Structure 1
Amino acid sequence: MQTLSTKDLTLGYGDDIVIDDLDITIPKGEITVFIGSNGCGKSTLVRSLARLLKPKGGDVVLDGEDIAKMGTKEVAKKMSILPQSPATPDGLNVMELVKQGRHPYRGFLKTWSQEDEQAVNNALEATNMLEFKDRPVDSLSGGQRQRAWIAMTLAQETDMMLLDEPTTYLDMSHQIDVLDLLFELNEKDGRTIVMVLHDLNLACRYAHHIVALKDKTVFAQGKPEEIVTCNLVHEVFQMKCDVTFDPMFGTPMCIPHGRGRCILADKAAELRQSAAN
């Protein structure tokens, strides 16, 4: 199983430094979620971990080797990446998309093998997309389309998956659907999964390990139940809240404060009091 870490990692665009001198280690066989306010560097960090963004300084280390010095196909056999809102070429159907995941194993003259076919079918079955294999990707619902892209990453047969905001633009039902799928892949196959999520409560529910980013570095990291507190939410998101426990899963659950909500809560309390009298 692959290991992934950073050493003195500095990232940015032009003169703008987004991540500065960062050292982290991704726990093997677990789900790690990056959280933080908009613009804190979550997506930038994922892109760098996947070798899509060259560091300004420091290293990303995969299995003890500087990822910048590894061949593209070598990296792709160890780690798959699903970027935010990937664009699908016109006319591509689900089967054709998922087959793209076999590219790291394809040589210039190598023919399509039984191993390739099996990997694609396994990926379609794991994501419940087999019945849609002949459908154009553009004709699918948002949740189905995201499953198709996840199937493509599964066809790479890597031990590690990186996903940048995999629930973006999905409604609540499809968000849960996608996150349940990723959780099952981790539970069943022991895949290491790294992703960016904006919903703190969903991050707490699905993550084994959370990394909270602030001021170009790690503000806190660890198990959700150990690090997600009112203070963390206030410091990282500049938001006051109460933190209680999810009644179904026992994980931390953030209840934001807000003037509008407080007014509604006060009115509801008045109505309950009036009814009682």
Structure 2
Amino acid sequence: MSVEAKNLTFSYEKETVLRDLSIRVPEGEITVFIGANGCGKSTLLRTMARLIQPEKGAVLLSGKSISELKTKEIAKQLSILPQGPTAPEGLTVEQLVKQGRYPHQSWLKQWSPEDETMVENAMEAAAVTSFRNTPVDDLSGGQRQRAWIAMTLAQGADTLLLDEPTTYLDMAHQIDVLDLLHELNEQEGSTIVMVLHDINLACRYADHLVAMQGKSVFAQGRPEDIVTNDMVKQVFHMNCHIAADPIFDTPMVIPYGKGRKPYGAIAAAEAE
């Protein structure tokens, strides 16, 4: 299933948030949106999920405008995990994950063995089976995020949209969640689109990077092709040095701000 945004424009309280923005999400890959605060990353993701309606342009699912599709039909193709989701008090992990099967329910089609299998497979994939009967509120931040990801997996959609899935998590739990998403992409072929703040983690996990600036797309492509000193300066308003990640060989951004100057080997290299 292909996902494409064409010429999107959206304003909030008379302020333009997206302006004539177009992207095409590569199928079966991990796409990450990066950019400074307020550049429209989350708005773009929410527009792609039809949570908000653009003033102009369209989001296309396999060539069909998302505005013309029924909500349940969209939910069978796209699942979204918003920022800071909250569950009703006392809801267990298994009960939460079962909510992902709602788009597949109707008066004629009630809970089925297929639904049960999807829930079990989702909990196993997200490694939350061992605390299935634990209230969501009692989980650690990383466990809670895994439970919500399991719910999106139970939905059975080919494409997962995640808005800052690592927010409020410590480094160990951030890596834990991103490794899980990477495994889902590798093993299940899921198309994953997410917003991340950490540019180095974005470079490490993304197949396709979308850098946003000025309410539109500044650059998009593979991290090694688009992450440059100029891109970081234009998008994040920050001076930096670009090195290779010593473990993964992906671009690694080493910032030194506006006032502080680099020294040693980096200073010598930038003086050449």
TM (norm. structure 2) is: 0.94
**Whole-angstrom distance in 2 between the partners of 1:78 and 1:251:** 31
Distance in 2 (alpha carbons) for counterparts of 1:234 and 1:21: 23
**Partner AA of 2:198 in structure 1:** D
Percent sequence identity over aligned pairs: 61
Give the conservation status (yes or no) of the 8 Å contact 2:35–2:235.
yes
Q: Following superposition of structure 1 onto structure 2, how do residues 28-67 of structure 1 map, counting pairs within 5 Å? A: 28-67=27-66
Alignment of 1:1-277 (within 5 A): 2-258=1-257
Structure 1: which amino acid aligns with 2:255? P
Q: Matched residues in 1 for 2:128 and 2:259: separation? A: 42
SS in structure 2 opposite 1:52? coil
> Does the 8 Å contact 2:32/2:209 carry over to 1?
yes
Q: Against the structure 1 CA distance between its residues 136 and 261, is the aligned structure 2 distance closer, same or farther, given a 3 Å change threshold?
A: farther
3-state SS of paired residue (1:22):
strand
Superposition RMSD in Å: 1.4
Secondary structure of 1:23 counterpart: strand
- Please report how far the alpha carbon of residue 152 of structure 1 lies from its aligned counterpart in structure 2 after TM superposition: 0.1
Q: SS in structure 2 opposite 1:84? A: coil
**Structure 2 residues not aligned, in runs of 5+:** 265-272
Cα pair 2:239 2:258 within 8 Å, conserved: no
Change (3 A) 1:151 1:261: farther
Q: Could you tell me how far apart the structure 1 residues matched to 2:34 and 2:132 are?
A: 34
Q: Hey, what does 1:273 align to over in structure 2?
A: none
**SS across alignment from 1:92:** coil
1:141 to 1:118, Cα distance in 2 relative to 1, 3 A: same
- Separation of aligned partners in 1, 2:257 and 2:230: 16
Segments of 4+ moved more than 2 angstroms: 108-111, 258-263
Structure 2 Cα separation of the partners of residues 259 and 235 of structure 1: 13
How much has 1:94 moved relative to structure 2?
0.2
Q: 1-side partners of 2:181 and 2:260: how far apart?
A: 33
Q: Classify 1:24/1:167 alpha carbon distance in 2 versus 1 (closer, same or farther; 3 Å).
A: same
Is the contact made by 2:3 and 2:24 (CA closer than 8 Å) also made in structure 1?
A: yes
- List gaps (5 residues or longer) in structure 1: 267-277
1:14 to partner: Cα distance: 2.6
Letter in 1 for 2:24: T
Residues 238 and 258, structure 2, Cα contact 8 Å, conserved in 1: no
- CA distances 1:125-180 after superposition (whole Å, capped 9, x unpaired): 00110011000000000000000000000001111000000000000000000000
Shift of 1:112: 1.4
Instruction: Work out the CA distance in 2 between the residues paired with 1:20 and 1:260.
Output: 32
Deviation of the 1:111 alpha carbon: 2.6
TM-score, normalised to structure 1, is 0.93
Secondary structure of 2:118 counterpart:
helix
In the TM superposition, residue 260 of structure 1 has moved relative to its aligned partner by 8.4
Alignment partners' CA distance in 2, 1:204 and 1:163: 16
1:210-229 per-position Cα deviation (integer Å, ceiling 9, x unaligned) = 00001111100000000001
Partners of 1:72 and 1:150 lie apart in 2 by: 20
Report the structure number with the largest CA radius of gyration.
Answer: 1
Number of paired residues?
A: 264
